[in-house]
Structure 1
């Protein structure tokens, strides 16, 4: 899949396209209905499917409101590629860009830049200056420009709530990663670079890969989870999935103050992940973060966490590793 970040990246001989528009944060079930229709129309017409997405999130520009994206931009692009999109245009979202009228947006970007023959969007689409354009306006402008417009109806859960990024954030804020996976259609993922921690885990038989700071994606509520540590296989596009127990929080037993994500790959003492970019998939919430009266109490609970994690993930049970066998430096 091609990724464009500036007008000059778009090839002059692009040809006609089918364009879809949105932040696509999370690329959840609702988004995938729009993407599937975009890809279907493009393939049917032998056209190029293009996803126009935005970075940073418009909310960060217009409201300066704190919002954590469900997925990182890199994972968003990967998910768009997995949906079958041929090219992604990452539009830098600025106040100047947001001043374009709906007509300017259609004529200057969709038609002049992307040569759109068709546009596929959700029925709740808003675009142009102060979100003054809606689906009806897009259809009107499309007819004027010779662009066919498809408004895809919202997709909802059986209980009636619309699939949305907002819903996912609510579920993650409560630690309900299984519920978030239901809306996403897959496990929730964060991504970051492994950094050095206090090395307490390796000293007691639970070495961890530590992630911290902004830019990871939406980190679920504090607690312990079952999931997967996902790393790239060197020299390949393949990924290696390692069953893992995941701790999110400040580590109250050791009176920590910095919120971190600590990932223990079950039974592995041979991993040296410092400086490596990894992904973490959350499968199920196990328990809250706790402070124990003794180290033995903590260790007994961590042993149980490993047992339950293995059971949930359907992998062999693994106990603590020998601290002397840990190879990370």
Structure 2
């Protein structure tokens, strides 16, 4: 039989500093218990109100990785379907929580569960009376605003990567398999590794960024400094949104078909439509030097 647990419930999108604070609080409250994170995939809004579903800050695999890094002993992923959305609060407790043998359940004060969000922390405490206690915790704040996935999405949409780091305590990461692009970068002396943004996942505002590239098929792979472009290549009248990363001073990398991580540190500028390739190449040289300077001190 599993030992008793302290359970933290949430979407944990991006596993930002507010989430980590909640997990740390739960660990301190029951240091002898297993720390279990219960999360949902896909996002409940994509089932209940698909037109209002947010673009997510990371994939499920990345969420699991970040939760384990934050000290969770076990991640329980509830496959959120229309049937799950129809469960009463009592069914949710019986089917999801009781099998985990919780001694304590920790949630945000705005936590709702069950059909039409009928359950709240007070009802959860009532359902667990004599079996487990419930802690409803206020949203963590940086002193001005609560830390939330919504605020991080907003900062990301404005290209404010400094604010993203403040709210999440980490750089924003995108992952994907490198695909072949138009190879214009190689012609200009800046070969890029291109990934296609995944449906339903957030992407930074169009522009040029400083960051890093890491190949994910090798646990010992280095983190390479990179100049990153997000957008449609307006100089060439492109229409498809792409994420392209040029690894500084490297033209020997063979990354087609390799899964990579692109970490965004800072935005240099927005996208501009230049008058011809020569003007673009001149700007790219300037961008690379700015990236080199920015990342040298990091």
> What TM-score, normalized to structure 1?
0.86
Between 81-90 and 63-72, the greater mean CA deviation after superposition: 63-72
Tell me the equivalent position of 1:105: 92
Tell me the equivalent position of 1:214: 198
SS in 1 for 2:83: helix
Tell me the equivalent position of 2:24: 36
> Equivalents in 2 of 1:253, 1:95: separation in Å?
45
> Equivalents in 2 of 1:232, 1:52: separation in Å?
26
1:183 to 156, 167, 180: 167
> Equivalents in 2 of 1:135, 1:72: separation in Å?
28
> Equivalents in 2 of 1:233, 1:221: separation in Å?
28
Tell me the equivalent position of 2:207: 223
Q: CA deviation at 1:157?
A: 2.1
Tell me the equivalent position of 1:127: 113
> Equivalents in 2 of 1:288, 1:274: separation in Å?
27
Question: Would you say 1:141 and 2:127 are equivalent positions?
Answer: yes
**What whole-Å deviation, never above 9, does each CA across 1:113-148 have from its counterpart, x for those lacking one?**
21112111112211111111112222222224x102
Number of equivalenced pairs: 297
8 A contact 1:120–1:150 mirrored in 2: yes
**What whole-Å deviation, never above 9, does each CA across 1:161-199 have from its counterpart, x for those lacking one?**
111111111111111121111111111111111111011
> Equivalents in 2 of 1:208, 1:89: separation in Å?
37
> Equivalents in 2 of 1:272, 1:40: separation in Å?
47
Compute the RMSD of aligned alpha carbons.
Answer: 1.7
> Equivalents in 2 of 1:64, 1:121: separation in Å?
24
Runs of 4+ in 1 over 3 A off after TM superposition: none
8 A contact 1:53–1:88 mirrored in 2: yes
1:51 to 19, 28, 37: 37
Tell me the equivalent position of 1:115: 101
**What whole-Å deviation, never above 9, does each CA across 1:3-43 have from its counterpart, x for those lacking one?**
xxxxxxxxxx322211111110011111111111233344x
After superposition, residues 186-197 of structure 1 pair within 5 angstroms as 186-197=170-181
SS in 2 for 1:240: coil
Between 193-202 and 210-219, the greater mean CA deviation after superposition: 210-219
Q: CA deviation at 1:233?
A: 5.9
**What whole-Å deviation, never above 9, does each CA across 1:68-98 have from its counterpart, x for those lacking one?**
1011111111100100101111111011111
Residue ranges of structure 1 left out of the alignment (5+ in a row): 1-12, 317-329
